[in-house]
């Protein structure tokens, strides 16, 4: 499989901040997403790091990191699967 996983900490629509997660398969077009509400950007970054470390242990590799600074900090990380199953 050619899997990918994307994690971002960003301002939420109904919550102060959210950890936005999206994942899928590049070969089949399968995609899913979820948003986890958090109170502060710091809590969001802590949760995002936990998710990223869990994915790295499961065989994903870090593909890219973007940090955008505007009036609020938004950090984005994308991981992709190392192994073909």
CA 52 to chain centre: 7
Query: pTM to 2 decimals?
Result: 0.75
Averaged pLDDT, 12-17: 91
pLDDT 10s digits, 49-76: 899 889 889 988 887 765 554 445 455 5
């Amino acid at each position: 499989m050619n899997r990918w996983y994307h994690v971002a900490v960003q301002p939420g629509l109904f919550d102060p901040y959210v950890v936005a997660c999206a994942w899928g398969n590049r070969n089949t077009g399968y995609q899913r997403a979820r948003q986890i509400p958090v109170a502060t950007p710091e809590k969001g970054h802590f949760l995002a790091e936990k998710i990223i470390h869990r994915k790295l242990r499961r065989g994903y590799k870090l593909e890219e990191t973007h940090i955008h600074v505007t009036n609020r900090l938004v950090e984005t990380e994308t991981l992709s699967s190392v192994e073909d199953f």
